[in-house]
Structure 1
Amino acid sequence: MPKENHTQYAILGLLTTECRTGYSIKQMIDTSLTHFWKISYGQIYPTLKLLVEKGYASVEDQAQDGKPDKKEYTITAEGEYVLKEWIQQPIQQLPTEKNELLLKLFFSRNLDVQDTLDHLDAYRDKLTDRYNIYLGIQEMISTQLTGQPDAPFWLITLDYGLRTTQAAIDWCEETKRTLRS
């Protein structure tokens, strides 16, 4: 059975926000969704075209002074229905994480312990950077976007990122203690 393409639902969902162009969708992906859902720039326009073909979105050319027309997309009633149906479906499976550090740790019997500790330190540093980015996003949503109807749900999603990142930082420290003993 082919794996379902959830990218169409992500883009439908973005069309329920203020995102109306491929460019604004890309910006929203780069600043928010990318932390938990990867969508390449090359997927956006083909997916928008598919959504229009299915009747889930409509497109309108908007004239711009001195520039080519831009395409503005709007979710249709049918698109809203399909998105709501998808959101209501239970989660089918837990995602499989691809994690280079875990793969290396699995085979680290073949490596000097100090090298493994160095890997853990570097990973922890990247996680700390990510955690700080999340804190910045949280501050921005809490101060600048509190009136947005999506803001509480964005904060809930962000809280997951903060908690799992903090857990991974804690795991790094505990793993280093284990390797040193």
Structure 2
Amino acid sequence: MRTLKYAILGLLSKEPMTGYDIGKEFSKDLGEFWTAKHSQIYPELKKLLSEELIVYEIQISGEILEKKLYSITEKGKHDFVQWLKKEEPIEPTPKDVFRLRMYFSHHLDAATRLQLVDHQLIQHQERLTHLQQKKERYSQIPSADSEHFGDYLVLDYAIQREMIIIQWLESIIAYSHK
């Protein structure tokens, strides 16, 4: 399945965008749970054009700079909504180098293990702070039909995930002192 296809269609269902704008979205809110590089985005835009799921218009910026402003077609909206309705099987647990290291951490001395855990703990605490700051833009939970509802749900999940990881890391520290 071309998941990037649906991420792009979803973005374009909000508003028309250039390829550059789409790329920026993957480094903002979407970047918290899905990433894509410009080298992936532009070939996917080409496929979406050939499938008639999107169209573009040329916009002139300045004297000669042309940029393509992409927008979703009715066919694209239909395809996107059908994808949204699909039930998805649970994904396999993502690979995580740190967890793999902890699995084999009995080969490490306690000081090295604690140093690795402390480093992870600091990173996750920083990420949690970042996510909580992003959540401050919501004074309340957006209504279920708001375009911000999905962002709120994913942001809430990310915060809870980071809190659980921090709790786990703190428990490793506690286990190590026994």
Give the stretch that moved more between structures: 115-124 or 11-20. Answer: 11-20
| Structure-1 separation of matches of 2:50 and 2:134 | 35
Percent identity between the aligned chains? 28
Q: Given the alignment of the two structures, is residue 122 of structure 1 paired with residue 119 of structure 2, yes or no?
A: yes
TM-score (norm 1): 0.90
- In 2, Cα distance between the equivalents of 1:34 and 1:177? 32
CA contact (8 A) 2:57 2:68 kept: yes
Q: Does 1:30 align with 2:37?
A: no
Letter in 2 for 1:57: I
Matches of 2:166 and 2:85 in 1, distance apart? 33
Cα root mean square deviation, aligned? 1.8
The separation in 2 between residues aligned to 1:46 and 1:163, in whole angstroms, is 35
Task: Measure how far apart 1:67 and its partner are.
Answer: 4.0
In the alignment, which residue of structure 1 is the partner of 2:95? 98
- Within the candidate set 149, 168, 174, 1:152 is matched to 149
- Deviation, 1:151, is 1.2
Kindly state the Cα deviation for residue 125 of structure 1 after the two structures are TM-superposed: 0.6
Which whole-Å CA distance do the structure 1 matches of 2:66 and 2:146 have between them?
30
8 Å contact from structure 1 (residues 8, 51) kept in 2: yes
1:19 Cα deviation from its structure 2 partner: 4.9
Instruction: Report how far residue 28 of structure 1 moved.
Output: 1.3
Q: Does residue 68 of structure 1 match 2:95?
A: no
> Partner amino acid for 1:62?
Q
* Secondary structure of 1:38 counterpart: coil
Give the match's secondary structure for 1:73. Answer: strand
Question: Are the aligned partners of 1:56 and 1:76 in contact in 2 as well (CA < 8 Å)?
Answer: yes
Q: Spell out, residue by residue over 1:13-36, the C-alpha distance to the aligned partner (whole angstroms, 9 max, x if none).
A: 111123511111111110111111
Residue 5 of structure 1, aligned match among 2, 5, 8? 2
**Aligned AA (1:45):** Y
2:14 is paired with a residue whose SS is coil
- 1:58-105 Cα deviation digits (max 9, x unpaired): 111111222421100001111111111111111123243121110111
The number of residue pairs the alignment matches comes to 175
| Cα gap change, 1:120 to 1:105, in 2 (>3 Å) | same
On the 8 A contact 1:19/1:25 being kept in 2, the answer is: no
CA distance in 1 between counterparts of 2:157 and 2:47 reads: 31
Deviation, 1:177, is 1.0
In structure 2, relative to structure 1, the CA distance for the partners of 1:95 and 1:60 (3 Å cut) is: farther
TM-score by length of 2: 0.91
Q: Is the 8 A contact 2:15 2:71 kept in 1?
A: no
Partner Cα separation in structure 2 for residue 60 and residue 31 of structure 1:
25
* SS across alignment from 2:68: strand
Query: What is the distance in 2 between the residues matched to 1:149 and 1:20?
Result: 20
1:41 paired with 2:38, answer: yes
